[in-house]
């Protein structure tokens, strides 16, 4: 037992990890208590320091020693793994990560959408791997900090605002890794820490690098290729973080969207799905809230000769916003909301009628499951869910799901 500064007692206990659950946490039990352990793998026998405080009967533990490693544990490739908060699943083989990410989606559907276990298992496909597990991140936010007159440049430590100093990040695209050295030099040359910004946004496309604030040479626009189109964006715009595997994501969405007269692309960002949808539908409308993204989507539409696509600025979290959407029959609605999900859009989809298919893209299985329950309580049925590993080495998972109308 260890006494903490506030007098509470934490214990060091031996546990065996049962499985890895959402958030990349190892799940174990000790004397009837649930213990969650970061950086643990299924089958690990561990000595774990268990914090005295608990939330909803769940204790949090930290690994003190690995007594014996589970079969899927591997050596992490980054020396900062465990300190830097960016990655949570580097210690797991790729096969284990893919299978765990599928389980996250199955579990969310079972727990939060009350989908029967057998149905959830048959509906959720094995996670598609990406083309690479490293060097994939094409945008990031770097944190800056000073300690004892030395600059730190990197990412926040896990559950903390402390900056972990990073010289090379295994997840970052090589073009972005190349910026770390010059940025550190620039930071060191500054007369006072107070003169510097506390964060820098970095992004790159197929070539060129942009940063905000533009401390080093920064391209005003980055570009990437997609379905024969060129899309441009500015640093700070929402884009998928992994452009190589973005094509895989877009292919999946387009295959499920099918073809027809009219498609809506809700939460369309800079037009990542909107432009490809025009290759399959006579009429395409994109909807987005961010003025900058609306601007970029319109520019992308124009520059690719697709002037008949309409882009509207609408708040899709608001009933007054969804009330502005078309009342004509729609063959397919694609929606790709932020992590909060699409509660209002899901309600609107159920109430509205005359929508044949919904392709739901999500980076958050929990809000996806919540919205899925709304859609299936209405007139939609969930046909398939395809997880894709767009964020290797982390606990994040992207998914693409198809719903269609029961009554059609």
**Interface residues with ligand SAM (CB under 6 A)?**
238-240, 267-269, 272-273, 288-290, 293, 315-317, 336-338
Q: Give the integer Cα–Cα distance in Å for 265 and 271.
A: 8
Helix (H, G, I), strand (E, B) or coil at 322: helix
Q: Give the integer Cα–Cα distance in Å for 147 and 366.
A: 38
Helix %, strand %, coil % of the chain (to 5)? 25, 35, 40
Supply the Cα-derived Rg of the chain in whole angstroms: 23
Q: Would you say 273 or 380 has its CB closer to ligand SAM?
A: 273
Q: Which contiguous run of DSSP H or E holds residue 356?
A: strand 355-362
Q: Give the integer Cα–Cα distance in Å for 272 and 247.
A: 10
Structure tokens at 11: 């214990």
Q: Would you say 114 or 131 has its CB closer to ligand SAM?
A: 131
We find the least distance from the C-beta atom of residue 253 to ligand SAM, in angstroms, to be 9
CB 73 within 8 A of CB 44: yes
We find the least distance from the C-beta atom of residue 269 to ligand SAM, in angstroms, to be 3
We find the least distance from the C-beta atom of residue 267 to ligand SAM, in angstroms, to be 3
Catalytic residue among 84, 204, 268, 363: 363
Cα 33 to the center of its chain, rounded Å:
31
Q: Would you say 36 or 363 has its CB closer to ligand SAM?
A: 363
User: What's the length of the chain?
Assistant: 408
Q: Would you say 30 or 317 has its CB closer to ligand SAM?
A: 317
We find the least distance from the C-beta atom of residue 276 to ligand SAM, in angstroms, to be 10
We find the least distance from the C-beta atom of residue 266 to ligand SAM, in angstroms, to be 7
Kindly report the number of other CB atoms within 10 A of residue 95's CB atom. Answer: 11
Q: Give the integer Cα–Cα distance in Å for 238 and 248.
A: 18
Q: Would you say 90 or 293 has its CB closer to ligand SAM?
A: 293
Indicate the residue whose CB is closest to ligand SAM: 269
Pairing of strands 398-405, 355-362: antiparallel
Q: Would you say 38 or 286 has its CB closer to ligand SAM?
A: 286
Indicate if 87 belongs to the active site. no
We find the least distance from the C-beta atom of residue 342 to ligand SAM, in angstroms, to be 9
Inter-axis angle of helices 365-377 and 94-112, nearest 10: 40
Q: Which contiguous run of DSSP H or E holds residue 110?
A: helix 94-112
Q: State the catalytic residues.
A: 363
């Amino acid at each position: 037992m260890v006494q903490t500064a506030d007098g509470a007692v934490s214990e060091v206990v031996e546990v065996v990890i049962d499985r890895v659950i959402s958030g990349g946490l190892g799940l174990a039990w000790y004397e009837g208590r649930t213990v969650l352990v970061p950086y643990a793998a299924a089958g690990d026998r561990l000595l774990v320091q268990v914090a005295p405080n608990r939330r909803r009967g769940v204790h949090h533990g930290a690994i003190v020693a690995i007594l014996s490693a589970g079969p899927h544990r591997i050596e992490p490739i980054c020396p900062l793994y465990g300190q830097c908060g960016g990655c949570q699943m580097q210690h797991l083989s790729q096969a284990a990560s893919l299978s765990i990410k599928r389980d996250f989606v199955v579990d969310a559907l079972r727990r939060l959408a009350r989908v029967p276990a057998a149905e959830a298992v048959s509906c959720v496909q094995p996670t598609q791997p990406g083309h690479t597990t490293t060097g994939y991140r094409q945008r990031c936010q770097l944190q800056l900090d000073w300690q004892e007159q030395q600059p730190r440049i990197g990412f926040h430590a896990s559950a903390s605002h402390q900056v972990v100093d990073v010289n090379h990040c295994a997840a970052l695209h090589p073009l972005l890794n190349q910026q770390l050295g010059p940025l550190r030099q620039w930071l060191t040359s500054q007369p006072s820490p107070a003169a510097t910004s506390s964060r820098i946004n970095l992004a790159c496309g197929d070539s060129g690098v942009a940063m905000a604030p533009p401390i080093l040479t920064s391209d005003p626009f980055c570009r990437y290729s997609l379905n024969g189109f060129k899309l441009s964006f500015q640093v700070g715009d929402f884009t998928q973080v992994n452009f190589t595997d973005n094509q895989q994501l877009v292919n999946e969405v387009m295959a499920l969207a099918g073809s027809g007269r009219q498609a809506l692309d809700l939460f369309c960002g800079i037009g990542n799905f909107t432009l490809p949808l025009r290759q399959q539908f006579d009429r395409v409308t994109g909807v987005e809230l961010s003025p900058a993204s609306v601007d970029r989507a319109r520019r992308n539409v124009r520059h690719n000769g697709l002037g008949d696509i309409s882009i509207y600025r609408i708040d899709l979290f608001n009933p007054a916003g969804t009330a502005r959407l078309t009342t004509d029959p729609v063959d397919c609605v694609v929606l790709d909301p932020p992590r909060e999900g699409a509660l209002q859009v899901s309600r609107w989809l159920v109430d509205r009628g005359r929508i044949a298919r919904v392709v739901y893209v999500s980076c958050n299985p929990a809000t996806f499951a919540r919205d899925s329950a709304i859609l299936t309580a209405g007139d939609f049925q969930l046909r398939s869910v395809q997880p894709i590993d767009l964020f290797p080495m982390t606990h994040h998972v992207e998914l693409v799901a198809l719903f269609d109308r029961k009554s059609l």
